[in-house]
Chains A and B, each alone.
Chain A
Amino acid sequence: MRWVGRSIHRLEDPALVRGDGRFTGDLKAANWVRFVRSPVASGCITRISWPEGAPVFTSAELEQIKPIRPLLHNFNYVPISQPVLAMDVVRFVGEPVAAVLAPTQEQAEDLADLVDVQIEPMPAIADARDAMIAGAPRVHALAADNIALDARFKTAGVDAAMTSAHRRIRIEIRSRRQNALPLEPRAAHAAWDRNSGRVTLTCTTQMPHVMRTIIAELIGMPESDLRVIAPDVGGGFGQKMSLSPEFVVVTWLARRLRTSVSWLEDRRENLIACFHSRDQQIALEGGFDADARLVAVSADILANVGAYSCYPTTCGVEPLMAMAEMPGPYDVREYACSARAVLTHTCPMAPYRGVSRPVITVAIERLMDKAAAAFNLDPIEIRRRNLIRSFPYTSATGLVLDQASYVETMDAALQAAGVAVFRARQAHARAQGRHLGLGLATFCERTGYGTPAFAARGMEVTPGWETVEMTMDPSGWIEARIGASPHGQGLRTTLAQIIADELGTSPDRVKIVHGDTDRTPYGWGTFASRSVVIAGGATLMAARKVRAKLTTMAGILLEAAAEDIVLEADAARVAGTDRAIAIETLARAAYHQAHRFKGEIGPGIADTATYDPAGTFSNACHVAIVEVDVETGGVILENFVVAEDAGRLINPMIVDGQIQGGVAQGIANALLEEIVYDDAGNILTATLADYLSPSAREIPAIEIRHLETLADASVTKAKGLGEGGAIGAPAAILNAINDALSPLGVSIDEFPATPRRIREAVKAAAQSKRPS
């Protein structure tokens, strides 16, 4: 019986449904920290005062801690730095200015209220375009024009191809700012150990090893004196992969004061001062030949990256991802791009599920729909003419797109959505004055990429590989220690299924150890749809080595050739015979009767494997069917279909869960969630009553179809899909809204497409039609 491909229950669930999960906030500490934060977007700190003798720490007390200075060695990156507590100046509302300590959270909040921070306000800029105007206030002296990264790309023939194009279509899209909003806010607990002198930092992170390295470096302590634990983590979606300055402060306090210190972020802090994303403006032009084939693409990308650069990816992560992947699944040889990271007096940007791809997919998919209208073609037909069909395909930016199913997933999604039936229904509804629309998004999702992909960005810290250490203990149970750091994805279950198949056992005899730098090999953690591909690949490779040892041992004991041994049902058997030895007997022998192997093989059962793949591409087509109420501007999502191809499905239930959850975040992105600043840099969305996350009422049932292209780019043949749901949904929904409103001559290219934006667009279109 094989375990891969089965929707077994998750091994993680029994503890979580009992309330026995262990989250950072469950730990007790002798001291609680509260951060005093800047109430203004830009200004000079003139004085900080507090009750005499109270345990209050400012940048003056923390002067030994180095500033956070993420590095990128390319693309005119400006290496701005961030002190862990603001020093002299503040650059966004919510920036930590001081830390106070008290025996309880309530007392820490009381003390924080008594800290008086005097700030001389200075002019602030919140919008990327305002920041680029000559003479605009500078966020960092180092960055002229507030440009932190200026990347250019151009193929030799793009100008000629664009000039000679039969038709040129232009579009400008605007993605408003988002917060990934994991339900568990950030938390950190640091405890100093008298006997070892070490500090254990338990925190909400997606990359415990990287946190150990950078925090030890900034504090100036030996890395071996720091243990980082990521216990159960209540969602991350990218927000928990970047370094929080607060974690550095908490660790430093525990070590300096020789005690335990805890910090729990509240939701307001999370909304204003944890990381934001997706604040982008893209101007895109497509040149098409007479057959509506895309011959050239030109893009101008502005990413508002806030006041600082995030570690380890840097603030280049959004503009560079957008630049590299803009052409998406379409066959276009000529491409030019300018991608800039713009500094403003707002909360720093960091990765959020999909990074730039939800935004660039809106850009290219809106372009395709506009082009289809200009050529009087069906949006399906124009995609059919332009989707890549032969693989491997090297993109204009040099990405190698491996075997995939772009046309096939589109066909599967359209069939599931029932396009012909819908068009009839749409026409009927229009006759009654109702506005129904259908929109699609076809896209590819780069997943499971190792060091070469990150090195191409010029990252000082170049992530990519994963290592897995696997041990079979003398009782025959298996332990796999991984550097990846799941936080809700069910990776323990998925990896246990892979191991169980390879070693002829069941997942409940496999323990996966993660999220503890003392117990696991160095690794990069969980982000970028990489875990099942890279940690999964390393797991399979380690299991194959353990398997080889088991079959060799069994061959010796059963006097058979190792290649004739099969592992099944917790036994090693000579194939086609009843000669077998139980795995637990074999395992015990490996440790306690090593002499029986006559020196042909060493004692114990343990092996290690590392995997650093070039990367692969999953792909999908999303179809949204909506009804728009032109009176209220409200959008009802009637139906949502996903046809996806992420290669082999290891646990289909978990795969579907990732898609549904991703689509829900994409729906929020398209219709609801928006972080709003006023012109002075005051944040207006500091509660969940202002920042609207969808509830069960806003998320429809999602119909999912799977295709399984088994490509060689991944050793497990699984391609990874953690981000895809969030990538396609905004484009499909915006296209559907525009399809619904097409009789009105409306083009909505800014999202979230809130009722106000839809109403304004409808009104503006009506006014422009009115004779003057």
Chain B
Amino acid sequence: MTEKVDITLNINGCDYAVRVEPRRTLVDVIRDDCGQTGTHIGCEHGVCGACTIILDNEAVRSCLMFAVQAQGKRIRTVEGLADGDKLHPLQTAFMTHHALQCGFCTPGFLMLAVNALETNPDMSEDEILDLLASNLCRCTGYQNIIKAVRNTAAEMRRARA
């Protein structure tokens, strides 16, 4: 397991050629080898969701995957959400609705919700709650995160109409 293999990870459109042990988790490689430290590690057993990233069109826990499994897939992390100085509407909504305090869980919640907004833009209130119950936040009591996602969904619907 300690013999290293060469893989290429595509993160936010950039290729990273890295040599890793097959046992290394995706989140460790994203953070340590690719230097993208916006994705955080909260539990390493798939409960808290701080490490949530988007893999192709799916929000996944990057602590529950090996880096070698992500080769050939499109990885998106929090660093790829903003377009230069222009924040993603959900990032702005998190600020407007005070949906973060310490900010440690924030990247995971953003990636979880961005993927849902892209794949299921007409989420019902119940679906939003179900979705956000996937991740843990210790600071906010969740209501402001729910508001931020609900309002961004409505905004995106208006923009489409």
* A binding-site residues for B, Cβ under 8 Å: 9-10, 12-21, 23, 25-26, 28, 105-106, 181-185, 232-235, 237, 264, 266-267, 487-490, 653-654, 656-657, 660-665, 687-689, 693, 695-697, 699, 701-702, 725
Contact = CB atoms under 8 A, between A and B. Distances in A.
B44 A267 contact: yes
B21 interface: yes
Interface string B1-45: 000000000000000000001011000100110001111111111
A107 to B, nearest CB: 8
24 contacts: A14-B87, A15-B103, A19-B36, A19-B37, A19-B79, A23-B40, A106-B24, A182-B102, A183-B136, A183-B137, A232-B104, A233-B102, A235-B101, A235-B104, A266-B44, A657-B139, A657-B140, A657-B144, A663-B141, A664-B141, A687-B45, A696-B133, A701-B143, A702-B141
A183 B105 contact: yes
A21 B20 CA distance: 26
Nearest to A668: B138
Contacts, number: 164
A749 B145 CA distance: 33
A661 B103 CA distance: 13
A688 B142 contact: no
B87 A688 contact: no
B110 interface: yes
A266 B141 CA distance: 23
B82 A18 contact: yes
Interface in B67-107: 77-79, 81-82, 87, 91, 94-96, 98, 100-107
Given A16-B103, A17-B100, A689 B95 contact: no
Contacts of A488: 101-103, 139
B87 A18 contact: yes
Contacts of B117: none
B47 interface: yes
B137 to A, nearest CB: 7
A696 B129 contact: yes
Contacts of B105: 183, 234
B143 A20 contact: no
Contact of A664 (B44, B50, B77, B142): B142
A184 B110 contact: no
B86 to A, nearest CB: 11
B48 interface: yes
B141 A653 contact: no
Nearest to B92: A17
Nearest to B31: A26
Interface residues on B, range: 35 or more
B101 A490 contact: yes
Contact of B106 (A16, A490, A664, A693): A16
A26 B132 CA distance: 26
B102 A234 contact: yes
Contact of A183 (B31, B42, B143): B42
A736 B95 CA distance: 35
A13 B102 contact: no
Contact of A696 (B104, B107, B132): B132
Contacts of A693: 136, 138
Contacts of A489: 101
Contacts of B37: 19, 23, 25-26
B42 A184 contact: yes
Contact of B107 (A19, A182, A656, A701): A19
A184 B102 CA distance: 9
Nearest to B93: A17
B104 A183 contact: yes
Nearest to A12: B103
A28 B34 CA distance: 12
Contacts of A490: 101
The 9 A-B pairs at the shortest CB distance, nearest first, are namely A19-B38, A488-B102, A234-B104, A16-B103, A664-B141, A19-B78, A660-B141, A688-B47, A26-B37
A185 B98 contact: no
Contacts of A237: 138
Given A17-B106, A19-B39, A660 B143 contact: yes
A696 B144 CA distance: 10
B96 to A, nearest CB: 7
A663 to B, nearest CB: 6
Contacts of B133: 695-697
Contacts of B23: 106
Contacts of B95: 9-10, 13-14, 17
Contacts of A184: 40, 42, 102, 104
A17 B132 CA distance: 17
Contacts of A264: 41
A654 B44 CA distance: 30
B146 interface: yes
Contacts of A15: 103
A695 B136 contact: yes
Nearest to A267: B43
A638 B42 CA distance: 30
A448 B86 CA distance: 40
A701 B150 CA distance: 14
Nearest to B36: A19
A18 B94 contact: no
A93 to B, nearest CB: 19
A657 B147 CA distance: 13
Contacts of A696: 129, 132-133, 142, 145-146
A488 B144 CA distance: 15
A106 B143 contact: no
Nearest to A658: B101
